[in-house]
Amino acid sequence: MKRRNKRLGIVVSALAGLGIATALVLNAFQDALVFFITPSEVMAKTEMPERNFRIGGLVEEGSVIRDPQSTEVTFRVTDTAESVTVVFDGILPDLFREGQGVVAEGRIGPDHVFRAYNVMARHDENYMPAEAQEAIERAGHPGDAAGGY
């Protein structure tokens, strides 16, 4: 191959690579991006999004109910203004506690019950999950943060 052809070849393959990457990224982003919504924002919506998203806040005191026969757990997540009922089937993280910060990933049904497939608590006893913190701040100062999805 002549030098010019070679350079052309390299440019073409680089562009092809870039094109493939862009296509893959955009395609994957469409399905895999998980947005974050606070409980107040969830309750303010009349139409529920047909996709997975995250909610965050505090586990409401006294709201945790375990099903005696299975591993299903029901609890409420609050941002101090509003709260959302969450149902999760599985093992909760070690640091899951009433009154502590929590983030849940899943989708909401027409009955306004959030079915979580993943529940996260912070790894450290001292800190709140960033998203739980944000939910409470947004509830405290509505309109401050750019919310929504």
- Contacts to other proteins by CB under 8 A: 1-3, 5-7, 9-10, 13-14, 16-18, 20-21, 24-25, 27-29, 31-36, 54, 66, 68-71, 89-92, 94-95, 105, 122-125, 127, 129-131, 134, 145-149
Give the nearest distance from C-beta 66 to other proteins in angstroms: 5
Task: Give whichever of 6 and 112 is closer to other proteins, judged by the CB atom.
Answer: 6
Task: Give whichever of 110 and 143 is closer to other proteins, judged by the CB atom.
Answer: 143
Give the nearest distance from C-beta 96 to other proteins in angstroms: 8
Task: Give whichever of 76 and 96 is closer to other proteins, judged by the CB atom.
Answer: 96
* Radius of gyration (C-alpha) of the chain in whole angstroms: 21
Give the nearest distance from C-beta 125 to other proteins in angstroms: 5
**DSSP β-ladder status, 113-120 and 83-89:** parallel
Per-residue CA distances from 3 to 6, 9, 14 (Å): 5, 10, 16
Give me the phi and psi of 75, to 5 degrees please. Answer: -150, 170
Give the nearest distance from C-beta 135 to other proteins in angstroms: 10
Give the nearest distance from C-beta 13 to other proteins in angstroms: 5
Task: Give whichever of 94 and 111 is closer to other proteins, judged by the CB atom.
Answer: 94
Distance (Å, rounded) from C-alpha 62 to C-alpha 41? 23
Which residues, other chains included, contact 135 with Cβ-Cβ below 8 Å and sequence gap of 6+?
Answer: 38, 39, 40, 55, 56, 57, 79
**DSSP β-ladder status, 65-66 and 72-78:** antiparallel
Task: Give whichever of 14 and 43 is closer to other proteins, judged by the CB atom.
Answer: 14
Which contiguous run of DSSP H or E holds residue 26? Answer: helix 3-32
